Amino acid sequence: MLQLGLPKNAASGSVINARSPIVLVVETDRGIQKLLRRVLCDYGYRTIVASNGRAALALLQTKPDLIILELQLADIEGVDLIRSIRITLESVPIIVLSNLGDERSKVEALDLGADEFLTKPFGMEELLARMRSALRRQIPARGERTAFRAGQLYVDLVHRTVKVSDTLISLPPKEYDLLRLLVEHAGKVLTHRFLIGELWDIPVDHQYLRVYVRQLRQKIEIQTNRPEYITTQFGIGYRLRPPDTQQDEH
């Protein structure tokens, strides 16, 4: 049986109530189902479980706040299920779990709308951290974010201004558009294919994207060789550091 690392304080005694987030777990392995249900309940999540894709689709009516999805299902391809979920629940965070660790599987799942991808075996502490991050991102996602702050980086999407340490940074249109996309999906991995599709009307080589990312880093990062804001997910894409705190600037 697959062994998952348990958090040190798994029995946290968190109180579950009507405002606790609902987590839909789509997992074929009964042992992992039981483990996830127990730990998530200990951490205050209302947890519902589906053993296959059809059951998961039926449970979407509960409007879960987050979905943990095994990619290899018996009845429906995991990527097809992600596509179906996105039709019904456009913005619900999806964390994919899979034995498939190849980059193609990760890119396909992320391009179809998954927020995170964990390869089995995974640590429960990492899963819980990814869940907290995804749920935090949902608060600004429910309204249109107009301003973003992380560390010394500040972006005003209404006035199209960018500041680092209160110094105004001038960005050419394409670099600003790249930063805007990253801000709108802060904390989430954006694949090369997604970014290229959003930034260019025709397919271009990944090298074009790398050039713009490098130029953007030179203007907003203190150390370009150790980026603080825009991190590289090798072979997949880029992730912008999430905002420091929940913002009310919508």
Q: So what's the pLDDT on residue 10?
A: 47
Q: d(Cα 142, Cα 91) in Å, to the nearest integer?
A: 8
Query: Which string of b and e fits 220-250 if b means at least 16 CB within 10 Å?
Result: bbeeeeebebbeebeebbbbbbbbeeeeeee
Q: So what's the pLDDT on residue 138?
A: 67
For the record, the structure tokens of 165 come out as 């340490």
Q: So what's the pLDDT on residue 36?
A: 94
Residue in 97, 135, 30, 92 with CA at minimum distance from that of residue 84: 92
- What are the CA-CA distances from residue 97 to residues 36, 38, 188 (Å)? 12, 17, 16
Q: So what's the pLDDT on residue 90?
A: 86
Q: So what's the pLDDT on residue 3?
A: 42
Place of tokens 């260019």: 200
Flag residues of the chain having pLDDT under 50: 1-3, 5, 9-13, 142-143, 246-250
Sign of CA dihedral 174, 177, 183, 184: negative
Q: So what's the pLDDT on residue 129?
A: 87
Max distance between CA atoms of the chain, in angstroms, equals 55
Burial class (CB in 10 A: 0-12, 13-18, 19+), 214: exposed
Question: Prior bond to 243 cis, omega within 30?
Answer: no
Judge whether 156 and 146 are in contact, CB under 8 Å. yes
pLDDT in tens, 55-95: 999 999 999 999 999 988 989 988 899 999 999 998 899 99
Q: So what's the pLDDT on residue 23?
A: 96
Residue in 27, 29, 77 with CA at minimum distance from that of residue 50: 27
| Angle of the 173-184 helix axis to the 206-220 helix axis, nearest 10 | 90
Q: Number of helices (H) and strands (E), helices first, in the chain?
A: 8, 12
Domains within the chain, CATH numbers bracketed: 22-141 (3.40.50.2300), 147-240 (1.10.10.10)
Judge whether 147 and 155 are in contact, CB under 8 Å. yes
DSSP string of 5-24?
BPPTT----PPP-TTSPEEE
Q: So what's the pLDDT on residue 158?
A: 79
For the record, the structure tokens of 87 come out as 């039709």
Q: So what's the pLDDT on residue 249?
A: 41
